[in-house]
Structure 1
Amino acid sequence: MVAPAPPIDLLVIGAGLHGLVVAKTYAESLPRATILLVDSAGSIGGVWARERLYPGLKTNNAVGSYEFSDFPMILQRYGLRPGQHIPGHIVHQYLVDFAHHFDLVRRVKLNTKVKAATLGDDGIWRVELGQSGGENGGDGEPQALMAHNIAVATGLTSEPHIPIYPGLQDKFRGRFLHSIDLNSRAHYLHNVKGNVLVVGGNKSAWDVCYMAATASPEATIHMLIRPSGRGPSWMWRRRGLLNFLSISRITSTRIFTWLDPNPLASSTQHIFMASWLGRLLCAIFWTFLDYLVLWTSGYLPTKSGNGLEPLRPRLSTFWMGNSLSVHNYETDWFDLVKQGRIIVHHAEIDAFTASHAVRLSNGQQIGQVSAAVACTGWKYTPSIRFSPDPALLGVPADSGRMEKKAAQTASDRLQFPEYYCINSATRPSNDAHILSKDPTGVPPRLQLYRFMAPLDLHLASPRIRQHSNANNKNSSLLFIGFYQSVQTTLVAQAQALWATAYFQRAMTSPAAPGNLQSRREWTRKNTTYQQCRRRGSPFPDLVLDALPYVDLLLGDVGVRRLRKRGGACGGWWRNLTAQHGPGDYRGLVQEWQRLAVRDVACNQVGECGEEGEEREKGERG
């Protein structure tokens, strides 16, 4: 093994959207820092890497809401039009351009996988790298390096989850693939004469059904949705009122956050939500939203019937989180169901019984299956071998151990206000398992402070415990991008700034590493809430709580949370009622640096004076 070089300042694992913005923010704060980004793919972009794109892939976000504040996505440059959902190849090119613009390309090492990361007694990470693909990480000897800090930015879609079906290996003679393979194997779905089986009810399954139906006019697409899962995704069609009330607008306008019970909200919002008026308005809002989406999608009962009933979601939008997807197809997806091109089944796969046949749990059998696509999600556990014990990191490693933690967390639920899991008026009876205290079948859930930071890393070894005092817990590891949200770029930028301050030990109270008790309480409360509200996902699912989460992170580092200025009412009305976009968060790093310099100067003098303190309070919102 090659001897490692001196420790680098920051290792970023993942060169996707989150990895790039973390590296950019850290480098902007410390221009002389040594930073390395590694990614197992052969190109920059993460989920938008060139080799992971497939025909028809687009963002759920419209132009203007999926870009970084300091690097706008110029319409003319990328051939886009206002209101358009951004094609995948454009997002890939945008992220490549972002990396070139901020001088990150020279810091990126592609086709490289982190195999193991070990925290030494000196607080420095020893990292083992290998080439992507091949046995034991690829050809050639493993490489080693040391790092003071690690940001794991692999996100939620790095390792595919592929179920094991009886008969798949020894009997089925059709083509079988996971949705991650569509870039290189999309031709499997072209000009199919028989049936195509698509397993899943999530947005990627809808995409694959549409792709197969349009690429193979003579094929019938069978969409298989598991009864034990969360059911079909809600599909937001931009017509009528929903053309104005887009998901992006609702989730980035602060007044709507007052209609959602969540622990990330301000204390004033908690008081409002605990009142009878707050709970009434909350129930009215979610009931109205349910009805609006049901109506625009054609799910409401009709006299003649339209064949869409199997696609009607089982749960209210209140519970679905980011499973509420956007209809961003060139033609009407639902017409394919009405025409019989897509047939929806609610069943499990019992077995692949013959060369081209699949038996379902409801007794039906689908024959002449030429191709089967598993849109079955991603693994919950990182592929990196961490030492110390992953239990200290708060990430899923041993499912049994994490399930035990989930059970302990579930028992704490009754200590929280009832309105955190308020019942929507339209919540159907068959989703009662959402509030069940029995965690059986619940995916292991991350236990991370601010959804990023391990709580017990300082307990990794006796020597680290000895050198970790009350004001300097070990803060050398973060998990970035382990969440779901429509407001990806806003949250990613806030996480990146928070991570930069955290790694530099420049965090304000109570987020400073030394305040361990308050950090534990925050983690316990928010993990319990996510367990209650988003039971089907191990990761935070930020919808109307995305903006409060961004506010929280910005408040931790001391920068202004209310981003809109001016107006007749001093800006507070615009901050409450106007949509927030990337442009409102421009210059975050410079703003944080100015405040840090001022804080240092004030500490040296001993006091800033009343005038300076009032001005600082106003700037920080």
Structure 2
Amino acid sequence: MDTYDVVIIGAGWFGLSAAKTRLEIHPEEKLLVLESASSFGGSWSADRLYPGLKSNNFWGSYEHPDFPMLEEVYGVKHGQHIPAAVLHQYLTDFAKRFGVYERTKLNAFVRHAKQMPDGTWELSAEISGAKTVIRTAKLIIATGLTSQPNLPTYAGEESFTGLKFHAKSFCEHGETAKSAKRVVIVGCGKSAYDCAYAFATEGDAQVDLLIRPSGQGPVWLVPGHVTPFRRMMEELLHTRCLTWFSPTPWGAEDGYGVAREWLQKNGLGRLITANWWANMNNEVIETHGFDTDPELFKFKPWQPAFWTGSGVGIHNFDSSLWDLVKKGRIRAHIADIDKLDGSQVFLSNGKVLEADVICCATGWRKESTMTFEGVELEGLGLPIPAEEQARLRKEADEEVLERFPILRNQPVLRYERTKSEPLRYYRFMVPPSHFNRRNLAFAGMVSTTSTASFANAQALWISAYFDGKLSREPKSQDEVVKEVLLHTQFGKWRYPCGYGDSLPDFAFDALPYVDMLLNDLGIKNHRKGTTMAELVEPYKPRDYKGITQEWLGVADKCQLAN
């Protein structure tokens, strides 16, 4: 049995950042990264790249603070989206640069994690087809939210004469982008639009895109630059004064709680906030012309952007997606698939389509493929009786609505909201019942467009937490539970058209979340040169360069003081 100090499962953004930070703090530790894919990168691994795939983020907002994506190395410039192949190479280079590459085993599947009486973990794994057992003192699960595809089944699909696959497998079937003539795309999120664009431009396919009548409707696909000042969308999300327009219970972590409270609770402040969000909606609708063309109108989002979190997409295509719609190359149908028969796809609206490819851009299953042993079932959730949970949930709901009246008027949805419990982790990383054990953390179990900054901050927070060296911690288990319930119940009210019912979702609340983690660590969260810059200059990953060394200096001073 191989024994390690730390095992990290996953070699995407969050797993690689966690490994880099842990090695920077404890270079003497024995660390292992296990990755189920055959290459580094997670969502950007080699076997998940398909024609035309790029990042939603522009260059400069999707790089690790301590590893700049240099133009002379990677060929990407300011104002450009990053090709998927470049991101895969970048993350592979990152692993090599920080000593993670040689500590990683690829094609490694962890099936089972057993907590031993002494608090260590025994992992049952399969590495390159060989079964093995691994022991580790501490475990970081960084498999993320896009590992297990949600692939629907349809009546009669055994008779379907074409090819059916999930968007995750588009790389494997990339040749169909040029060869397919009749393509049905199931879904209306950003990945569905990516696939539709690839099929319509790489070859000469007729693309039919299906929007489920009982679903969330089309994704908000916003221009890369918005407002009369032509600001990048991700820059708006990370401009401190603009984050005040979005309610969040951890908002005061940025030091401007008075301004936030006025905008959320004062009558005039609420009017200003409502107008700001309305202008954001109208700019996207007018720019894309959704109300001027009957076919484009089918792609108009069903709910205001306010209720959607990180699911917003960026129009990062080389040419206009909407021109393809106007030309009839991409057609939208508000319908489900009733059944398949041969090459025919029967829709719930009575139409019948011909297809040689069905690509399901139908999202991801959120449950883990791992099983746990030696942990009570509620051990990965709330360690309190159901009755107490219900009481605390009610109290959290009341607090959310009292603090943020804008959330009382919830949107009317076409679908039934999930009744399952969301992920309830402290700081969205640590199961409450495990907080005092300091042997388990989840990195990247969040949906965010702030991936690079989140991965860096979470990595440092987890290492400090494992070492018992956070500058600020909850004083009791009750405090942990109450805060977890407040933050997770808030997500259900804030993002009913996003992922708030099931997991942490972030948009304009991302910057104050990073503030909260840095405050826990005892390092400065205001990282601009002046107050004006702090308020109006967008935060980029580069603003967090060197925070691990910065924290080590703080931790050393605290140790000497004690």
TM bracket, shorter-chain basis:
over 0.9
Structure 2 residue 496 is matched with structure 1 residue 502? no
Letter in 1 for 2:526: L
Structure 2 residue 27 is matched with structure 1 residue 31? yes
Which one of the candidate residues 349, 352, 359 is aligned to 1:362? 349
- Please give the secondary structure, in 1, of the residue aligned with 2:539: coil
Letter in 2 for 1:572: T
Q: Find the aligned partners of 1:49 and 1:407 in 2 and give their Cα distance.
A: 44
- Please give the secondary structure, in 1, of the residue aligned with 2:487: helix
Q: Find the aligned partners of 1:190 and 1:407 in 2 and give their Cα distance.
A: 57
Residue in 2 aligned with 1:422? 406
Q: Find the aligned partners of 2:282 and 2:404 in 1 and give their Cα distance.
A: 22
CA deviations over 1:405-452 (Å, ceiling 9, x no partner): 79984785234234536169xx9x9x4249x9xx75355410111011
CA deviations over 1:511-555 (Å, ceiling 9, x no partner): 4xx532221111101111111122342221111100000000000
Counterparts of residues 317-396 of structure 1 (less than 5 Å): 317-352=305-340, 354-366=341-353, 368-387=354-373, 388-394=375-381
CA deviations over 1:444-473 (Å, ceiling 9, x no partner): 410111011001137xxxxxxxxxxxxxx2
- Please give the secondary structure, in 1, of the residue aligned with 2:139: strand
Structure 2 residue 485 is matched with structure 1 residue 524? yes
Cα distance, 1:81 vs structure 2: 1.9
Residue in 2 aligned with 1:163? 152
Cα distance, 1:268 vs structure 2: 2.5
Q: Find the aligned partners of 1:48 and 1:58 in 2 and give their Cα distance.
A: 10
Residue in 2 aligned with 1:564? 528
Letter in 2 for 1:156: L
- Are residues 491 and 232 of structure 1, via their aligned partners in 2, closer, same or farther at CA, if it must alter by over 3 Å? same
Which one of the candidate residues 241, 260, 267 is aligned to 1:276? 267
Which one of the candidate residues 239, 243, 246 is aligned to 2:232? 246
Q: Which one has the largest radius of gyration?
A: 1
Cα distance, 1:483 vs structure 2: 1.0
Residue in 1 aligned with 2:88? 92
Residue in 2 aligned with 1:201? 188
Residue in 2 aligned with 1:293? 284
Aligned 8 A contact 2:48 2:170 in 1: yes
- Are residues 99 and 415 of structure 1, via their aligned partners in 2, closer, same or farther at CA, if it must alter by over 3 Å? same
- Are residues 548 and 94 of structure 1, via their aligned partners in 2, closer, same or farther at CA, if it must alter by over 3 Å? same
Aligned 8 A contact 2:265 2:404 in 1: no
Counterparts of residues 4-83 of structure 1 (less than 5 Å): 4-5=1-2, 7-83=3-79
CA deviations over 1:468-518 (Å, ceiling 9, x no partner): xxxxx212111100112221111111111100101111123334xx53222
Which one of the candidate residues 482, 486, 494 is aligned to 1:533? 494
Q: Find the aligned partners of 1:408 and 1:371 in 2 and give their Cα distance.
A: 49
- Are residues 129 and 484 of structure 1, via their aligned partners in 2, closer, same or farther at CA, if it must alter by over 3 Å? same
Q: Find the aligned partners of 1:298 and 1:104 in 2 and give their Cα distance.
A: 47
Residue in 2 aligned with 1:259? 245
Residue in 1 aligned with 2:549? 590
CA deviations over 1:527-584 (Å, ceiling 9, x no partner): 111111223422211111000000000000111111113xxxxx22211111111221
Structure 2 residue 462 is matched with structure 1 residue 480? no
Q: Find the aligned partners of 1:420 and 1:24 in 2 and give their Cα distance.
A: 38
Q: Find the aligned partners of 2:389 and 2:548 in 1 and give their Cα distance.
A: 37
Letter in 1 for 2:185: V
- Are residues 222 and 409 of structure 1, via their aligned partners in 2, closer, same or farther at CA, if it must alter by over 3 Å? farther
- Please give the secondary structure, in 2, of the residue aligned with 1:183: coil
Letter in 1 for 2:316: N
Aligned 8 A contact 2:339 2:347 in 1: yes
Cα distance, 1:163 vs structure 2: 1.3
Cα distance, 1:190 vs structure 2: 2.0
Give the structure, 1 or 2, with the largest relative contact order (CA under 8 Å, sep 6 or more).
2
CA RMSD of aligned residues (A): 2.3
Q: Find the aligned partners of 1:196 and 1:224 in 2 and give their Cα distance.
A: 11
Residue in 1 aligned with 2:430? 453
Q: Find the aligned partners of 1:442 and 1:376 in 2 and give their Cα distance.
A: 20
Q: Percent identity?
A: 35
- Are residues 508 and 239 of structure 1, via their aligned partners in 2, closer, same or farther at CA, if it must alter by over 3 Å? closer
Cα distance, 1:8 vs structure 2: 1.3
TM-score (norm. length: structure 1) = 0.85
Which one of the candidate residues 531, 546, 554 is aligned to 2:510? 546
Cα distance, 1:32 vs structure 2: 0.4
Counterparts of residues 593-612 of structure 1 (less than 5 Å): 593-603=552-562
- Please give the secondary structure, in 2, of the residue aligned with 1:555: helix
Aligned 8 A contact 2:185 2:195 in 1: yes
- Are residues 408 and 516 of structure 1, via their aligned partners in 2, closer, same or farther at CA, if it must alter by over 3 Å? closer
Q: Find the aligned partners of 1:390 and 1:101 in 2 and give their Cα distance.
A: 39
Residue in 2 aligned with 1:191? 179
Cα distance, 1:184 vs structure 2: 1.2
Residue in 2 aligned with 1:489? 452
Q: Find the aligned partners of 1:244 and 1:384 in 2 and give their Cα distance.
A: 45
Cα distance, 1:104 vs structure 2: 1.1
TM-score (norm. length: structure 2) = 0.93
- Are residues 243 and 220 of structure 1, via their aligned partners in 2, closer, same or farther at CA, if it must alter by over 3 Å? farther
Aligned 8 A contact 2:112 2:125 in 1: yes
Residue in 2 aligned with 1:469? none
Aligned 8 A contact 2:160 2:343 in 1: yes
Aligned 8 A contact 1:421 1:532 in 2: no
Aligned 8 A contact 1:68 1:489 in 2: yes
**Mind listing any 5+ residue stretches in structure 2 that lack a counterpart?**
none
Cα distance, 1:391 vs structure 2: 3.0
